[in-house]
Amino acid sequence: MTTSSAPGKVYLFGEHAVVYGEPAVPCAVDRRARVTVEQRDDSRIRVEADDLSLDGFTVTYGENPDDADVNVPGDLVAAATGYVDGAVAQARDAAGVPDAGFSVTIESAIPLGAGLGSSAAVAVAGIDAATRALGVELSCGELADRAYRVEHDVQEGQASRADTFCSTMGGAVRVEGDACERLPEPPDLPFVIGYDGGTGDTGELVAGVRALRERYGFAADTVESIGDLVREGERALREGDVARLGELMDYNHGLLSALGVSARSLDAMVWAARDAGATGVKLTGAGGGGCVVALDETDATETALEYTPGCESAFRAELDAEGVRRE
Ligand code: PMV
């Protein structure tokens, strides 16, 4: 048995715009997906996930998805199998063992599809565990690249390298097109996360922004403005200016709202955090539902979120300097 884990992330700045070559700064947080694999003596894949933020499920499948033996509805099967299939395909390719079969167990403390990078963490930890089970150790660079290819395929080309690079490397990172780098240790960032219990469809939301950007010059300008904001945010991060970071997060949320990717539940949490005196707050990830991330060193934002209708849970998160971990 081989186990690897990888962290989820929040976007300090730059989601969506990063898809069009603007920079983004995601930060890994201390919520992890753990993937355990055991090689099988056939070429089938069995996935078990009992600790996700949805009812547990088990699915066993081989070459033909129609012969899948499942205990849950089809859309969850697609969610489960897409990233795991992709991770196994990458591991088979990296190790040169095209017909390796695996039993895969996923335990994750990252809400699914909620903007905290659950799929990237599963892809990173899954590829790492499966390649090691086949006797191959990938460098972090190759692991991040292969995990990106999984996300890119599953999301039908609508993915940046941000989530997968951040989950592999840990810490705060900067991604601009294919250029990915880890940033120096940032100041203490008092993250508070609000979760509405829902999800957004990343592919659909990215396609919506793409259509808006093609239709209106001012939407394209909005995407570019997010890029300018990220560059300003990087300066604030280097200078340890948390107040300015917060102001820029507020602005970033406004621009994401203008691009149509916020939601009533996300805006309700954003306003609750603002009213509670958060230093800054924005949605994180694709939007449409899921999570907001705030900065607040006091308890006020977390408490306010707990009492906000539509907020299912509120919790603190720490920056996680460690990326993929071999358990
Ligand atoms: O919601 P998440 O964690 O899948 O993040 C999506 C971020 C986007 O910028 C919208 C897409 C991407 O791949 O960068």
Average pLDDT of the segment spanning 233-239 = 96
Encode burial over 41-74: b for 16+ CB neighbours within 10 A, e otherwise: eeebbbbbbeebbeeebebbbeeeeeebebebee
Distance 41 CA to ligand 1 centre (A): 36
φ and ψ at residue 217, rounded to 5 degrees: -60, -35
Cβ of residue 206 lying under 6 Å from some atom of ligand 1: yes
Q: Which pLDDT does position 53 carry in this prediction?
A: 45
pLDDT in tens, 154-193: 877 778 999 999 999 999 999 999 999 999 988 899 999 9
Residues forming beta bridges with residue 38, ordered by sequence position: 103
Percentage of the chain beyond pLDDT 70 is: 91
- pLDDT tens by residue, 126-136: 999 999 999 99
Q: What's the confidence (pLDDT) of residue 54?
A: 43
Pocket test for ligand 1, best of 20, 155, 160 (most atoms within 8 A of CB): 160
Q: Which atom of ligand 1 lies closest to the CA of 119?
A: 4
CA pair distance 117, 193, nearest whole angstrom: 13
Q: Which CATH number fits domain 191-317: 3.40.50.300, 3.40.47.10, 1.10.260.40, 3.30.70.890?
A: 3.30.70.890
What is the model's pLDDT at position 111?
Answer: 84
Mean pLDDT lowest among 33-42, 107-116, 317-326: 107-116
- 49 versus 20: the higher-pLDDT residue is 20
The verdict on whether 163 is a catalytic residue reads: yes
Question: Can you tell me which atom of ligand 1 is nearest the CA of 116?
Answer: 3
The span from the CA of 53 to the CA of 20, in Å, is 31
Overall average pLDDT of the 2-23 stretch: 97
Q: Which two tokens stand for residue 156?
A: 């039908």
Question: Would you place residue 62 in the very low, low, confident or very high pLDDT band (cuts 50, 70, 90)?
Answer: low
**Pocket flag, ligand 1, residue 160 (CB < 6 Å):** yes
Domain boundaries, the chain: 2-184, 191-317
pLDDT at 201 over 80: yes
* Whole-number pLDDT of residue 155: 79
283 lines ligand 1 (CB under 6 A): no
Give the distance (Å) from ligand 1 centre to CA of residue 117: 8
Give the distance (Å) from ligand 1 centre to CA of residue 285: 5
Question: What mean pLDDT do residues 8-12 have?
Answer: 98
Domain 2-184 fold is Ribosomal Protein S5; domain 2 (3.30.230)
Question: 299, 283, 287, 293: which is closest to 317 by C-alpha?
Answer: 293
